[in-house]
Chain A
Amino acid sequence: MKALVFSRSPTRYAATRTLSVVSSRFNASVSPLDFTTNFELPNRNLPYQQCKVLLSGICGSDISMLDSSSSRYFEDFTSFPFVPGHEIVALAPNDDGTKRRVVIEPGLSCIVREISPLCDYCSVGATDKCINTISGSLNSGTQTGYCHSTGGGWSENFIAHPSQIHDLPESISNEAALMIEPLACAMHGVLRAKPKADSEVAVIGAGTVGQMTLAALFTLAPEAKVSALARYSNQAELASSFGASILRSNDELRRTARRKSKGIMVANRVMGGFDTTFDCVGTNETLSHALEITRPGGTVILSGLPSPMRIDLTPLWHKQISIVGTYAYGSEIYEDKTIRTFELAIQRANSLGLERFVSTIYPLEDFEEAINHARNSGRRGATKIAFDPASKVSHTPRKAS
């Protein structure tokens, strides 16, 4: 079957890293990613099920991995070669041989790995904190899309544990469903931050992570006052649909931070600032900026996959800011009930117009162009780029009216 396969190759890793610095184009010929038509999934018995990919997204973390610009932290929690793709809408088999549309929760925690007893975290539903990412009946990997045993979304089929499979209601289109995984991530971050009513919140970055954070704030913390830093017009337009005040530059956000908190600003140093800042990019620049614009005693939520960075932590120390990491999804306590983050995201999907965020869908064969598009999505007016393994040509999905 068709698939894109990522191999461990130090030479190609180095070449890709060098090229990514000098060129904004993804170069397939030197990348550790290859297109193949004869990929075979490892055999898996029940309860694992083989699912057919309908759509699979290209995430910022995938781009970092392909550019070799991400931290090497995850290398030892990954099994090579693997098929990337953890944002997946698929068809899962029913007992009677028919199929149903599902969305995949890609975390490979104790239950998915058939580990018993469950680790302390999984036993309370906090699968995002699972410590067993290299053991059990699967190879190493924190998620589907980084594990040799399961395959991933950038292929025709992959393997999933029933606990990963969430049925989709008829009302949610495939495109909207594709955004459920990033939405669930964002909801997890928002529920970790728990912004109070009327609190001032900043969101840095308006790519997929930023937009889904805005969507999560819109639906879970509607009384928070949200300002979003969006560099591109299309991002600004989408962000404003969630009621955010749009700011277009770091300077503008800095001044807004000062003004909203009635603080002071000496040169670029703001005393005062936002109660909570979501860094949805995760670079040196954005985290530094987040520390600048967050008030004393405030919180910075690190939502975007961070790149390795050197950063001046003096404002963190001086303003006694907390940096909170937020990874993936698990169980949440929301409105006094415990609910899986994915289920909450599915419940809210219809009210958020998620299909708007899927910009272009490519066949696997056109992966070089797809990845280039995703790599420059903001500049090219796009948010989410995805693969449809059954598609022959790239296309823009029809937007819901």
Chain B
Amino acid sequence: MSPRPGFILNVDKSYPGTLFWHGEGYRIEKLPEGSSVIYAPESLPSLSDPLGAIEDALDNPVGDSDPLDTLLTSGMRLTIAFDDVSLPLPQMVSPDIRSLIIEAVLERAARAGVEDVVLIAALALHRRMTESELRHAVGDRVYDSFYPRGLLLQHDAEDPKGLSFIGLTPQGEEVEISKRAAESDLIVYVNVNLVSMDGGHKSVATGLSSYRSLRHHHNVKTMVHSKSFMDRHNSQLHSSNWRMGAVIKEAGIKIFQIETTLNNDTFPKQFEFLQKREWEWNLKDRAKFITTSKALEATPPWMARNIFHSIRSPYGLTGVNAGEVDAVHEKTLERVYKQQLVHVSGQSDILTMGLPFIGPYNVNSIMNPILVYCLGLGYFFNMYKNKPLVRKGGVLIMSHPTRNEFDPVFHPSYIDFYENVLSETTDPIEIEAKYEKSYAEDPWYIHLYRTGNAYHGVHPFYMWYWGAHALDHLGAVIILGGDPKVAKRLGFMAASTLNDALAMASAYVGTSPSITHLHSPPLLMAQVE
């Protein structure tokens, strides 16, 4: 039986309630009659022979590219860059798809007599991965062969000797990337595409670049005009990356892009009910929901967090394409949309969503208030094509405990951003103008980024800019079940129940609003007409 497409439930009297993620837990909320609940398409079947699919992609590249074997020659300099720990979410069960691809590429390189091979985790300004995360991504065999010899690197965007200035785009955007990558005869980029924002020229132009380069698209103006940044062809973020990609290509830097797409199998058996439609829950699902939710209620947040972060997703591979960046990425987008796209008719006054325990920047860590903001107003809000799910001036209600909790090792500058910047203003434009430079150039943050496991000092700013389009669009944001003081610091309101949240929203959208709920998991993208 082929998987069912996405579905929009019109809430009526028989409706059993909707599961909302709520950080390290979940709750069932009853939306008012007439509300719409958008469900993602069912999981697409995974490829039965992933290794065969990888080999096939390497042999039969798309676009203007030769097969990988013909690009590999003895004496060449080869750099294999790969997506970091921010993808996929949660981390996938072993073997990670990246490790399979890297092994396949290395095997071919060895056959061709390539000896100068370096692997680079494309961190951009993300935190360095831990040993176990690196091992998971590349596999033990590759890790043990490359890391001890200094051939498995993590991109250092603050190493002045490790960066190369490539040139300027026609818009004057500076392009600076990893020197090793720039001076290689070939860059093989290994990507995992969880959402349509990932991949394409963003892989190298962002993943291997520096603050000098990133600031040209990671800024408020670009993000406000990326409608949405999940829609590559209507995203200024992507336009800028594509311009940079052109500069890289013109400079003679060869990229062999390998992109993969995953299905919607986000959770293992014991949490399978999370991605089912609630009215289709069987007795087992109900029992699992009750048992796990009761257990989580009695579990301290730190322990619940550890439990959830230990989950490995049984994602299935739906496709792998290799070759020329643009052509590969178009194929990727087709597959991502096939898995995630749901057609929705019209915008609503209120958009509701439940936010999970994890986002791209808190793998094995705490979802701090700025990341909650980014996940809701950045990622989830932007999961649309054409126009947002909520109308201009509408209200976003997002469910998350939003505690005043930070990870001082991974997110040191976030703490200062929360305390010193958000206490003064939440206006992205003012924040960017007044504070960004001092955080970006703070030597202590740079030191922690380069030598520890800290996100770069400027990273919380990017999180704030990620939500700038939503901030510009929305009339109000209400955090359901959030800490009121934290919500206030973010510039939002907090409500303890959905009814309270709806009552608060009525001040902005009246007493009979239309309501749409973006159901997750799994992830979906709305094509709003």
Q: What CA separation (Å) do A259 and B418 show in the bound complex?
A: 13
A255 at the interface (CB under 8 A from B): yes
Could you say which interface size class chain A belongs to? 10 to 19
Contact B419 A256 (CB under 8 A): yes
Contact A255 B442 (CB under 8 A): no
| CB of B230 to closest CB in A, whole Å | 33
| CB of A52 to closest CB in B, whole Å | 46
| CB of A240 to closest CB in B, whole Å | 10
Contact B419 A252 (CB under 8 A): yes
| CB of B441 to closest CB in A, whole Å | 8
B423 at the interface (CB under 8 A from A): yes
> Number of contacts between A and B (CB, 8 Å)?
27
B420 at the interface (CB under 8 A from A): yes
Chain A residues near B100: list those with CB within 8 A. Answer: none
| CB of B341 to closest CB in A, whole Å | 43
Contact B444 A262 (CB under 8 A): yes
- Considering only residues 242-273 of chain A, those with a C-beta below 8 Å from chain B are 245-247, 252, 255-256, 258-259, 262-265
Q: Mark B389-429, 1 if CB is under 8 A from A, else 0.
A: 00000000000000000000000000110011001100000
Q: What CA separation (Å) do A258 and B424 show in the bound complex?
A: 18
Which residue of the partner chain B has the closest CB to A227?
B420
| CB of A231 to closest CB in B, whole Å | 15
| CB of A264 to closest CB in B, whole Å | 5
Contact A256 B444 (CB under 8 A): no
Please tell me which one of the listed residues A246, A256, A264 contacts residue B416 in the complex, with CB atoms under 8 A apart: A256
Contact B415 A262 (CB under 8 A): no
Q: What CA separation (Å) do A262 and B413 show in the bound complex?
A: 12
Contact A247 B419 (CB under 8 A): yes
Contact A255 B416 (CB under 8 A): yes
Contact B423 A256 (CB under 8 A): no
Please tell me which one of the listed residues A245, A252, A259 contacts residue B442 in the complex, with CB atoms under 8 A apart: A259
Contact A245 B444 (CB under 8 A): no
Q: What CA separation (Å) do A258 and B419 show in the bound complex?
A: 13
Q: Mark A372-400, 1 if CB is under 8 A from B, else 0.
A: 00000000000000000000000000000
B447 at the interface (CB under 8 A from A): yes
Q: What CA separation (Å) do A265 and B409 show in the bound complex?
A: 12
Contact A245 B420 (CB under 8 A): yes
Which residue of the partner chain A has the closest CB to B413?
A259
Q: Mark A212-252, 1 if CB is under 8 A from B, else 0.
A: 00000000000000000000000000000000011100001
Contact A265 B444 (CB under 8 A): yes
Contact A263 B419 (CB under 8 A): no
Q: What CA separation (Å) do A259 and B440 show in the bound complex?
A: 11
Which residue of the partner chain B has the closest CB to A236?
B423
Q: What CA separation (Å) do A265 and B442 show in the bound complex?
A: 12
Contact B442 A256 (CB under 8 A): no
| CB of A236 to closest CB in B, whole Å | 10
| CB of B324 to closest CB in A, whole Å | 44
Q: Mark A309-326, 1 if CB is under 8 A from B, else 0.
A: 000000000000000000
B113 at the interface (CB under 8 A from A): no
Contact B447 A264 (CB under 8 A): yes
| CB of A233 to closest CB in B, whole Å | 11
Q: What CA separation (Å) do A262 and B420 show in the bound complex?
A: 14
Which residue of the partner chain A has the closest CB to B415?
A255
Chain B residues near A245: list those with CB within 8 A. Answer: 420, 423-424
Chain B residues near A246: list those with CB within 8 A. Answer: 423
| CB of A365 to closest CB in B, whole Å | 41
Q: What CA separation (Å) do A137 and B423 show in the bound complex?
A: 56
Q: Which of B443, B444, B447 has the most CB of A within 10 A?
A: B444
The residues of B with any CB-CB pair to A shorter than 8 Å are: 415-416, 419-420, 423-424, 438, 442-444, 447
Q: A259-B444, A262-B442 are in contact. List 20 more A-B contacts (CB 8 A).
A: A245-B420, A245-B423, A245-B424, A246-B423, A252-B419, A255-B416, A255-B419, A255-B420, A256-B416, A256-B419, A256-B420, A258-B444, A259-B416, A259-B420, A259-B438, A259-B442, A262-B443, A264-B443, A264-B444, A264-B447
Sample (23) of A-B pairs whose CB atoms are under 8 Å apart: A245-B420, A245-B423, A246-B423, A247-B419, A252-B419, A255-B415, A255-B416, A255-B419, A255-B420, A256-B416, A256-B419, A256-B420, A258-B444, A259-B416, A259-B438, A259-B444, A262-B443, A262-B444, A263-B444, A264-B443, A264-B444, A264-B447, A265-B444
